[in-house]
Amino acid sequence: DIQMTQSPASLSASLGETVTIQCRASEDIYSGLAWYQQKPGKSPQLLIYGASSLQDGVPSRFSGSGSGTQYSLKISSMQTEDEGVYFCQQGLKYPLTFGSGTKLEIK
Amino acid sequence: QVQLKESGPGLVQPSQTLSLTCTVSGFSLTSYHVSWVRQPPGKGLEWMGVIWTGGSTAYNSLLKSRLSISRDTSKSQVFLKMNSLQTEDTATYYCARVRSSPGVMDAWGQGASVTVSS
């Protein structure tokens, strides 16, 4: 199975700050990487797929990049509504596997 | 509008079988795969299995011996059955629509909270 290692585990950021979350795969996943946001008591919501494609309706301050085994999610200007937990997930091979999550809070 | 909704019992006794239903609307089960994902309280996401558009299935190897996913396309429903439940199976169970290539879950149900306890 492909292992996904996500960092950091938690992060606090000020309003307007740029935030970056990292995800590393145990093997090349050829940009088969998605990012999800989960708010307390809610289901995960897709933000980014194919490593860098923005899902419809997601604000443009979210962006994804990376290739091979290294990927990142960037929030260009932290907003209050961006608080939550972020997960990466590889979709190249089954079983689909997730990173352990990054809890993002407002400082 | 794409929607998925999980339903089932909130409480299951240890060693018993969990049965959940995912009712979908806004898309066809013959056009999109559907996965089940679970999340223990305060923890991360675990992919459980998938039923593909053709009706075949694939499972997480850790759960394979206990898990079964099936569907009724005429009712737009996907079913999860997992036997021999233990307390560590306490979790919120989600069904999600899966886009192919790569496997991306682009729509999720609201989740069904399941507690395993006597």
CA of A58 vs chain B CAs: smallest distance (Å): 12
B99/A96 Cβ within 8 A: no
Per-residue pLDDT of chain A (107 residues; tens, 9 = 90+): 999 999 999 999 999 999 999 999 999 999 999 999 999 999 999 999 999 999 999 999 999 999 999 999 999 999 999 999 999 999 999 999 999 999 999 99
- Best B5, B45, B93, B94 residue to mutate vs chain A (most A CBs within 10 Å): B45
Phi, psi dihedral angles at B31 (to 5 degrees): -115, -25
Mean pLDDT of B49-59: 96
Position B102 confidence tier, pLDDT thresholds 50, 70, 90: confident
Closest by CA position to B4, among listed B19, B34, B30, B25: B25
Phi, psi dihedral angles at B73 (to 5 degrees): -65, -30
A101/B44 Cβ within 8 A: yes
* Interatomic CA distance for residues A21 and B12, integer angstroms: 37
Peptide bond connecting A95 to the previous residue in cis, omega within 30 degrees of 0: yes
Report the pLDDT value the prediction gives residue A42, as an integer from 0 to 100: 97
Compare all CA atoms of chain B with the CA of A30 and give the residue at the minimum distance. Answer: B102
A43/B111 Cβ within 8 A: yes
